[in-house]
Amino acid sequence: MNRRQFLLNTGVLTAGLTGAGVLPAWARAEEDAYFAGFRAGLKQHRWLAAFAGVAADLDAGPVAFDGRLPRDLRGVLHRNGPALFERAGQRYHHWFDGDGMVQAYAFTDRGLTHRGRFVRTRKFKSEEAAGRFLHPGFGTTAKVKVPITGPDAVNPANTNVLVHAGRLLALCEAGSAHEMNLETMATVGTVTWRDDLKGMPFSAHPKLEPDGTLWNFGAFNNHIALYQIGADGKLDKAEVIKAPDVAMCHDFVVSQRHLVFVLPPMRMNIEKLRAGSSFVDAIDILKDAPMRVLTVEKGDFSRRKMYELPPGFVFHFGNAWEDKDGLIRFDYVRSDPGADVMTATMRALMRGDVAGMGDPGNSLSTQVVIDPARGTIRQESFKEDVEFPRVDPRFVARRNRQLFHTAGISNGGNDSDSKFGLNAVLRYDLDSGKSDRYVFPREYSLEEHIPIPRPGSTREGDGWLVGCAFNARTGKTEVNVFDAQRLAEGPLATAKLPYAIPLGFHGHFTAA
Amino acid sequence: MHTTPCFRLPRRVALRTAVSALLIIAGPALANELTIEIQGITEAKGSVYVALYDKADTWMKKAVKAQGTVATTGKTVIVFKDLPEGEYAFSAFHDIDGDRKMARNAMGMPTEPWGFSKDAMGMFGPPSFDEAKVKVPAGGTTTVMTLKS
């Protein structure tokens, strides 16, 4: 059934929708500052509706495109993100806690169709049955204690999604990949790459080389697992290495010869956890310590080197490659030390406090050059506030000259009614340093946008940039298609969905 | 962007003791029995092992007794006989693959169902002896625990 939406964003009285008035006494007692604060914030900032969440799977379409959908852009864009934030009067205290919903946007001759399916994780199924949250999240402590037997007991599968070897994989940093049926989107279960790797973290940011080789890692408690998976979907190699002061690691990057990590020093403070603090609050971030850069040779995981960068923080990387002199070049989005966006901003957002949102200039695309022979490293940053770097998928682990971002660029005036940080798409030309950009009107908040190659073309960046934007004025989600080489001209085609889809994190396009 | 908790058991779960204890013949006739009903057995495959400890000092290091039984779907019962009155705590696991060791993945996380007396839970480690202890009075007692996976 279409439009089974339970959104809090279309002008309906928000408290009524979640049934706050008819909740049993124990549930009302669980209502907290986040639940009430979010509703208060929503009255002032309509864009917060993009973080209200949904309670059930979604279906819509086909929706006709405004403008013209390019004839050779056909396929499915899968995306993932936290989408369920409230049960029984309790609201999560962190954006990252929401249950993952995989979105499938199909670009067809008849327009755009959309399907959203919650990943039926162990956590989701048990909480759906109980009608309330049972497990702690990254930033929320649980009021009801159930055994946490390992990462997959609390895995929300909410961060990325990938199609590899015919399998749809929903990914989250700290636990196993969840396989979903590519056609029906029904959850199959967790993926065990090999018996001795069962239940181990398989990060949300694998890197897929053009030949189909998939590289990934998983970080846990000062260890990093490394995975090499063939184009056939079978594990070729896996190993666990020690990595001191790695309480978490979100992303990495792959060159022709190396896996490259940037590791801000963080320690999991077990005593804080035992005393009842949430995981994000139990991470001690060593703000003044350098970030360590770890390179691992693809062909021999025991061949590793460490370099140091000034203190900072990182979530995401674009690409890496080696030049003919053996210099390793890569980019990452550098932010100030301390990870305030993770420890404070994403938390405040959930209680409707937007004070820290949209502060410009904190997350900069940063280009790094490592000289392994000399043991040196240097970096230089662009000036724009950006996130979610992506490159043309045909240029992963080889030289890229273009880098795509979602960006936060002032569109003039007071941003208070549209303050979610990301409102623009941007392409850097890494040779010239120039950028091509499109800044959306004030009412839009953006997700990651993904470059899609034009079939038959081999030229880097030739194709489209595709992604979702939440329109705070209509309270609904729109899907935009740009000419990837002419972002400034604005979208070629826009499909307006009949509902809001919670802003998500990352995705993957599969050509038809 | 998540870091999750995980539970790590100490490397030794006193399995050697567990196995040899199967051969121990009852000593002096003491009436105190500890009857353990183990629930949450997901498949009738392999064995369920329990290691019993009698003090905090030796908790998860040196078991006083250990015992195993064939796994039956749902629940099974293990009885420790002839115990001196006192406080005890135990660990249990379901040895599905029959190798007499609790299986772990390459990061050391348990991959076979496990648990402790009183369903006590630790965080990044086993619970304390005090959290898991059960009193065995004169005449014995029965306790229920559930294996987790």
Report the run of H or E that residue B104 belongs to, with start and end.
none
8 A C-beta contact, residue A484 and residue A426: no
Q: What is the pLDDT of residue A273?
A: 85
- ipTM for this model: 0.83
Q: B119 vs A150: CB contact, 8 Å cut-off?
A: no
**Global confidence as pTM:** 0.89
Higher pLDDT, A347 or A148: A347
What are A327-369's pLDDT values in tens digits?
999 999 999 988 888 888 889 999 999 876 756 558 999 999 9
Chain B residues whose C-beta is within 8 A of a chain A C-beta are: 1-7, 105-107, 109-111, 114, 119, 121, 123-125, 148-149
Separation in Å, CA of B122 to nearest CA in chain A: 9
Q: Is the pLDDT of residue A8 over 70?
A: no
Q: Which residues of A touch B98 (CB under 8 A)?
A: none
Separation in Å, CA of B143 to nearest CA in chain A: 18
Nearest to A4 by CA among A84, A58, A85, A63: A58
Separation in Å, CA of A274 to nearest CA in chain B: 7
Q: What is the pLDDT of residue A482?
A: 98
Which residue has tokens 């669980």?
A30
Q: Nearest Cβ partner of A283 from B3, B123, B124?
A: B3
Nearest to A336 by CA among A380, A291, A294, A377: A291
Q: What is the pLDDT of residue A419?
A: 63
Q: What is the pLDDT of residue B29?
A: 45
Complete DSSP assignment for A338-359: T-HIIIIIHHHHHTT--TTTT-
Helix (H, G, I), strand (E, B) or coil at A253: strand
Does A235 lie at the interface with B, CB-CB under 8 angstroms? no
Q: Nearest Cβ partner of B149 from A149, A175, A279?
A: A149
Q: What is the pLDDT of residue A274?
A: 82
Q: A200 vs B109: CB contact, 8 Å cut-off?
A: yes
Q: B123 vs A159: CB contact, 8 Å cut-off?
A: no
Q: What is the pLDDT of residue A40?
A: 94
8 A C-beta contact, residue A461 and residue A451: yes
Q: What is the pLDDT of residue A506?
A: 98
Strand duo B34-41 + B74-80: pairing: antiparallel
Separation in Å, CA of B25 to nearest CA in chain A: 35
Q: Is the pLDDT of residue A129 over 90?
A: yes
Q: At a CB cut-off of 8 Å and minimum separation 6, what does A261 contact?
A: A217, A224, A243, A249, A252, A293, A294, A295, A296
Torsion from C-alpha of A466, A211, A201, A188, nearest 10 degrees: 70
Q: What is the mean pLDDT of chain A?
A: 90
Q: With 0-12 CB in 10 A as exposed, 13-18 as middle and 19+ as buried, what is B23?
A: exposed
CA angle A426, A431, A435 (to 5 degrees): 20
Three-class SS of A313-342: EEEEEEEEEECCCCCEEEEEEEECCCCHHH
CA angle A475, A478, A482 (to 5 degrees): 150
8 A C-beta contact, residue A217 and residue A259: yes
Q: At a CB cut-off of 8 Å and minimum separation 6, what does A49 contact?
A: A7, A8, A9, A10, A42, A470, A472, A475, A500
Does A482 lie at the interface with B, CB-CB under 8 angstroms? no
Nearest chain A residue (CA) to B124? A270
Nearest to A215 by CA among A181, A255, A274, A176: A255
In whole angstroms, what is the distance from residue A103 CA to residue A108 CA?
Answer: 16
Nearest chain B residue (CA) to A271? B123
Q: Is the pLDDT of residue A106 over 60?
A: yes
Q: Nearest Cβ partner of A248 from B3, B119, B125?
A: B3
Q: What is the mean pLDDT of residues A423-445?
A: 95
Tokens of A110: 């008849």
Nearest to A59 by CA among A8, A119, A117: A117
8 A C-beta contact, residue A143 and residue A29: no
Q: Is the pLDDT of residue A14 over 80?
A: no
> pLDDT truncated to tens, each residue of chain B (149 aa)?
333 333 333 344 444 444 444 444 444 445 799 999 999 999 999 999 999 999 999 999 999 999 999 999 999 999 999 999 999 999 999 999 999 999 999 999 999 999 999 999 887 778 999 999 999 999 999 999 999 98
Chain B interface disruption, residue of A94, A221, A316, most B CBs within 10 A: A221
The pLDDT confidence band at residue A42, using thresholds 50, 70 and 90, is very high
What are A447-474's pLDDT values in tens digits?
999 999 999 999 999 999 999 999 999 9
Q: What is the pLDDT of residue B96?
A: 96
Q: Nearest Cβ partner of A159 from B1, B106, B114?
A: B1
Q: What is the pLDDT of residue A144?
A: 53
Q: B2 vs A96: CB contact, 8 Å cut-off?
A: yes
In whole angstroms, what is the distance from residue A163 CA to residue A447 CA?
Answer: 19
Q: Is the pLDDT of residue A435 over 70?
A: yes
Q: A138 vs B105: CB contact, 8 Å cut-off?
A: no
Q: What is the pLDDT of residue A399?
A: 98
Question: Per residue in A82-105, is it b (16+ CB within 10 Å) or e — as a string?
Answer: bbbbbbbbbbbbbbbbbbbbbbbb
Tokens of A413: 């005036």
Residues in chain B: 149
The pLDDT confidence band at residue A418, using thresholds 50, 70 and 90, is low
Strand ranges inside chain B, DSSP E? 34-41, 47-53, 65-70, 74-80, 86-95, 114-116, 134-136, 141-146
Q: What is the pLDDT of residue B28?
A: 45
Q: Is the pLDDT of residue A142 over 60?
A: yes
Q: What is the pLDDT of residue A143?
A: 60
